[in-house]
Structure 1
Amino acid sequence: MASSEPSSDRAILLNSPSYRQADQDPEFLAHGHTRGVRLHLDYLKAQLLLEEHGIQHTIVVFGSTRIPDPEMARRSLDEARAAHASAPDDEGLERKVAVAERLRAKSRYYDLAREFGRLVSVASGGPDDCSVVIATGGGPGIMEAANRGAFDVGAKSIGFNITLPHEQFPNPYITPGLCFRFHYFAIRKLHFLLRAKALVVFPGGYGTLDELFETLALIQTRKIEPVPVVLIGRSYWREIFNVDFLVDEGVIDAEDRDLFWFAETAKEAWDGILLWHESAGTPPCVTP
């Protein structure tokens, strides 16, 4: 005869994973089959907040997280030299001195990025105007400098951070409420370009190159409307990116050289962006 007793008590039922409400079930939300939902949420949260803040257009700044401000670069170099002096035969310490010297030389780009952030922010309509704002990857180095430039003049700026195995902490100059963290690189890239009126790229490594080349490919293939792409520091970029070689090899067209240009100063970059948009009939929404 079958038992009339329930197979489980109520506590077991209530604690069963199947009983959890779907939107409150972390294990379910992390499942491979719910990736589409997570992608949508990754996009939607930032989209709604950007709309709430009235963000219309962005000037995106990218560059190395490892290029510090000049004072920090000087201290790091002094420390590297002191360590090497105590063990002059240590090749590893000698290498650290060489790297520190190069980063000290490149720390001038931190000041340039900070100045550029100020220029863009001053050109907008004041601290409460979100028609054009600086947007960065949210981290230290060059991105910190650009956010800092906006902060210097009391303007808002955006930080699009990403979850990484070695956690990246957002720099302190991003506007509260406009500091985001994405799980998916693809959604972060989408938000970088959705409102972009220009991409300004300072010396950097793989992450910087990734953003640069993806943007150039999207413009080249007409997947997005053209935007100005400015590379700061001709000598650096000429060393790692020989566009003339690509043309000569026949893997890009000659006109693809015109998808970007070089600048050496913050003012040169900003004036070039304004001129580009004036010529294209699509000026950024900034005051003269």
Structure 2
Amino acid sequence: MTEQNPAAPDKAPLPEPVAADRDVTGRKFHRARTEAAFTESQAPDTAQTRDSAYRLAFRDTEFLLREELRPVRFQLELLKCEMLLEEAGIGSTLVCYGSARIPAPEQAEAALATASTPERRKVVERLIANSKYYEEARRLGRLAGECNVVEDGKRQFVICSGGGPSIMEAANRGAHEAGAETIGLNIVLPHEQAPNEYVTPHLSFQFHYFALRKMHFLLRARAVAVFPGGFGTLDEFMELLTLIQTGKMKPIPILLFGRAYWNKVVNFEAMADEGVINHADLELFRWVETADEAWGHIVAFYGLEC
């Protein structure tokens, strides 16, 4: 008779393999989500397990927010948006840049009521004068949404904006009214801001890094509409022009709304006359005033049947 060692721990018998365990091609390691559930449900409550050092690295927010982890956060912002857009079947986008301050026509009177000085009233009046572009952005979104281009099983020319108010809202709103999904790429800012209500919830993204946000604007862009706007719109517009001018990006339709506005704030002809750009560079974009003009150019450029 074999003598038992009383100091030896009891060993539970190994479970019998189930069918899935015998699958040659099956996964043998637990997924990260499963491992995370193990730690949450099975870890004893001790001083050691409560300390952040014990947390799984990918569940440790304090760790992920360290300065040294910036490259990892860059990669996460690149991957999250890319993967979710791919999973949602988004093939390409029609990007709409524009001001966050121009009011919708129905908000014009309320905006004017907030003007407390003659100087401020003059500014608000100019914003209201440009509110016609809210309606044009809204109509452009509707035209793209109604066309509903699908190629290779993916939706094309999906409206994509910065996700905020004003012109951005208008573009999302038009596509939403046409029954189409819309994308919003918001940015974290010191002052309060939130996605507009017309962005499709599962296509509403938030970015920490401007650079990654601007990259995602253009990765799927097959056309870009640029409406009157400020520093942010100028930044996005000029980067797009630079990418195409230098050959880093292939030409796409760039529709510049509001010739009177843009010629007042940027003297494109003077840049060409001074020799810092070529006169041919002025052909990189097309002047338009209406959504019908803009959409007509996109349809002609790609030979769409809408």
Common fold: TM-score over 0.5: yes
**Cα separation, 1, equivalents of 2:107 and 2:90:** 33
Which of 264, 268, 273 in structure 1 is aligned with 2:293? 268
> Structure 2 length as normaliser, TM-score?
0.81
- 3-state DSSP class of the match of 2:155? coil
**Cα separation, 1, equivalents of 2:110 and 2:55:** 54
Q: Is 2:134 aligned against 1:99?
A: no
Alignment of 1:1-288 (within 5 A): 11-80=46-115, 83=116, 93-125=117-149, 130-278=155-303, 286-288=304-306
Asked if 1 retains the 8 angstrom alpha-carbon contact of 2:144 and 2:295, the reply is: yes
What is the aligned residue count? 260
5+ long unaligned stretches in structure 1: 1-9, 84-92, 279-285
Shift of 1:79: 4.5
**Cα separation, 2, equivalents of 1:256 and 1:79:** 41
**Cα separation, 2, equivalents of 1:212 and 1:145:** 19
**Cα separation, 2, equivalents of 1:34 and 1:198:** 34
**Cα separation, 1, equivalents of 2:289 and 2:85:** 31
Query: What is the percentage of aligned positions where both structures have the same residue?
Result: 50
Asked if 2 retains the 8 angstrom alpha-carbon contact of 1:62 and 1:143, the reply is: yes
Q: Deviations over 1:27-75 (max 9, x none)?
A: 2111122111111111111111111110001000010010111111122
Asked if 1 retains the 8 angstrom alpha-carbon contact of 2:253 and 2:301, the reply is: yes
Which amino acid in the other structure matches residue 123 of structure 1? C
Which amino acid in the other structure matches residue 146 of structure 2? V
Shift of 1:265: 0.7
- 3-state DSSP class of the match of 1:135? strand
Shift of 1:125: 4.5
**Cα separation, 2, equivalents of 1:130 and 1:247:** 38
The structure with the largest alpha-carbon Rg is 2
Q: Deviations over 1:216-268 (max 9, x none)?
A: 00111111111111110100011111111111111112211111111011101
The Cα RMSD (Å) is 1.8
**Cα separation, 2, equivalents of 1:122 and 1:287:** 12
Asked if 2 retains the 8 angstrom alpha-carbon contact of 1:59 and 1:199, the reply is: yes
Asked if 2 retains the 8 angstrom alpha-carbon contact of 1:136 and 1:160, the reply is: yes
Shift of 1:103: 1.2
Shift of 1:15: 3.4
- 3-state DSSP class of the match of 2:69? helix
**Cα separation, 2, equivalents of 1:157 and 1:143:** 11
Asked if 1 retains the 8 angstrom alpha-carbon contact of 2:91 and 2:154, the reply is: no
**Cα separation, 1, equivalents of 2:265 and 2:301:** 25
Asked if 2 retains the 8 angstrom alpha-carbon contact of 1:219 and 1:226, the reply is: yes
Shift of 1:100: 1.4
Asked if 2 retains the 8 angstrom alpha-carbon contact of 1:134 and 1:157, the reply is: yes
